[in-house]
A and B are shown apart, each in its own frame.
Chain A
Amino acid sequence: MDMVSMGLLAAMGALATVAGASEDLESDVGSQSNPNSQVQLAAQVGHPHRIYNKAISGEPPSNALYAALAAVTASVLMSGYGMNAFFAIAIGAVVAAIFNGIYSTTAYLGRNTSQARFNQYVYLDVLRTHTTTIMAHAYITAFCVVTISYIMTAPWLPIQHPFPMPLVAFIWGLAIGAIGSSTGDVHYGAEREFQAYPFGAGLNAANSGDIVTKAEAGLRSSIDNAWFCARFGGPATGMAFGLTVFLDNWRTTIFDPATQGWLAIATGIVIVILFNIYNRILEIRAKKRYGPYPEYVGDIEA
């Protein structure tokens, strides 16, 4: 353990937090992954909308694509043309953002066309205004993830992971997609999509598809949704991915894996136990603060 390693570790943690936030906001502007099922359902139950219906097969594969593409482009530029790392990673992230734009556009066109019988139009101005926002967020995500992978694999830096850089970027892309899909998307799906319903309850099955389509003035657009989710869902996802990257690499930075491997594992197990205890405390506090439902009729005591 030395100061350079700790400094690099801190940089990786910060990059991961930014990447997590931008990944979640990208999926909120595009309405990707699971909350999109409600957007899909909305037109079918008689609520056509102007939300960006982007369906790219789920966040883990698509974020893995952007990260891997950016990493491969950066690797080609660095090894084949001798370019500086930062420029290469930036150009790679641009190519990934362009791919994102193409996939998002075709997904929006395809999904809305396949709902023609419910009179769901294809709005070209939604495409024009939102696609660039989505591409910008994807650029930030790809840049940060590839920089993390570069720090982990560069031969002149301390960590020197044995996997090639595109493979590490692929894995982190898959992980960030899984994390973003599990955490930030709930804030978008359960809270923002159904903001007309009172705070403090899950979505009643009878209200499926009844998403908010009218905004404070005019019609709801996905950029409004990203504005809201940037207040909580986005940073929370950033915390999740930042914690994962930081804690995973912190154990092997403070304890040298070759000689103190068992200490690193023991640290990890202590962290896992602390997480479990913290979850229990969280659950007790939530139940105490919110209490049982007043309308609850049943014979099991709270």
Chain B
Amino acid sequence: MMAFDANMVLYIIEIVIGGLLVGVGVHFVPVGGAPAAMAQATGVGTGTVQLAAGSGLTGLLSAGLMMSVTDNIALIVISGAVGAMIMMDATMIVGNWVYIYGVGVPPCSAKVDYDPITKEPQPPYISPGTVGHGIPTVSYVSGTIGGLLGGAGGSLIYYALMSINQNPGLSGFFAIGIFVVNAVIASYNIQGTIEGFHDPKFKRVPRAVQACLVASLIIGIFAVLITGGA
């Protein structure tokens, strides 16, 4: 049991911020769920928590390696963010390859008439009976941002926990646990599918912020009191 001192408050704040980054980042990742796997909806054809967890934890690996050689919080968190972004981007590029060359559909979205970033019209390219398919530019950029936030959040939680108990295995696992709790709460908020920041569902972010804030705070208070074992 660690003595409660001023540093503890800092670590709890770091865990809460990390949890918030994860929760908000999940809203940026373009996920179409089961319909997207059949080219019926825009986005990556998988589940929200699965893709967010996959990319965030890849970022955690990069952050873990960085933290074993340095102590600079900016370096560690950004390194985790970059690792997650690379995984997310590689996945989405190959996803687009399969959509374009394997299924034969151009990327387009049905939630907006004009792509917010490229200003190109969307409805002429949508297959009849679907609500878009593939990963258009706005969803791709949104996914990159989602990877950045998720990776940064997971790395920040890992950094805070390592500073307390200096045990990489324990901190790594706790970071995974806290990451998953925040990601699942956020995925309940978007109810399974979202196309990115242009999706009307994106306006629900404040609710997720409140819920993740409270959940991370409670978990953070318990997590900082756990020692690394001696």
Contact = CB atoms under 8 A, between A and B. Distances in A.
| Direct A–B touching, Cβ under 8 Å | yes
Interface of A: 33-35, 37-38, 58-60, 159-164, 167-168, 171-172, 174-175, 177-179, 181-187, 189-191, 193-194, 199-208, 232-233, 236-237, 239-240, 243-244, 247-248, 251-252, 257-258, 261-262, 264-265, 268-269, 271-272, 275-276, 278-280, 282-283, 286-287, 290, 292-293, 295-296, 298, 300-302
Contact of A161 (B65, B98, B133): B65
Contacts of A58: 47, 50
Contact of B103 (A174, A181, A190, A279): A190
Given A186-B37, A292-B125, 12 more contacts: A34-B36, A35-B37, A37-B34, A58-B50, A167-B173, A171-B176, A183-B95, A201-B128, A203-B130, A248-B61, A283-B106, A283-B136
Interface string B119-141: 01111111111100111110011
B146 interface: no
Contact of B86 (A162, A203, A248, A293): A248
Nearest to A242: B90
Contact of B65 (A185, A257, A282, A302): A257
A300 B172 CA distance: 51
A191 B102 contact: yes
18 contacts: A161-B68, A174-B54, A178-B51, A183-B91, A183-B95, A185-B46, A186-B102, A190-B133, A202-B105, A203-B39, A205-B40, A239-B94, A244-B58, A247-B90, A248-B86, A268-B82, A275-B144, A286-B134
Contacts of A301: 121, 124
A203 to B, nearest CB: 4
Contacts of A193: 38
B50 A257 contact: no
A182 B51 contact: yes
B168 to A, nearest CB: 4
A199 B120 CA distance: 24
Nearest to A205: B129
Given A174-B57, A178-B46, A178-B54, A262 B75 contact: yes
B54 A189 contact: no
B87 interface: yes
Contacts of B69: 257-258, 261
A232 B103 CA distance: 11
B100 interface: yes
Given A167-B169, A201-B128, A203-B39, A248 B93 contact: no
Contacts of A248: 58, 61-62, 83, 86-87
Contact of A283 (B94, B130, B137, B168): B137
Contacts of B34: 34-35, 37
Contacts of A174: 53-54, 57
Nearest to A188: B37
B82 A186 contact: no
Interface string B64-75: 111111101001
B68 A162 contact: yes
Nearest to A200: B104
Contacts of A287: 106, 120, 125
B161 interface: no
A257 to B, nearest CB: 5
Among B95, B98, B99, residue most surrounded by chain A Cβ atoms (within 10 Å): B98
Among B35, B39, B82, B141, residue most surrounded by chain A Cβ atoms (within 10 Å): B82
B123 A300 contact: yes
B7 interface: no
A260 B22 CA distance: 28
Contacts of A271: 86, 89
Contact of B57 (A160, A164, A171): A171
A83 B47 CA distance: 39
B145 to A, nearest CB: 11
Contacts of B103: 186-187, 190-191, 199-200, 202
Contacts of B172: 163, 167
A269 B78 CA distance: 10
Given A35-B37, A178-B53, A202-B40, A244 B86 contact: yes
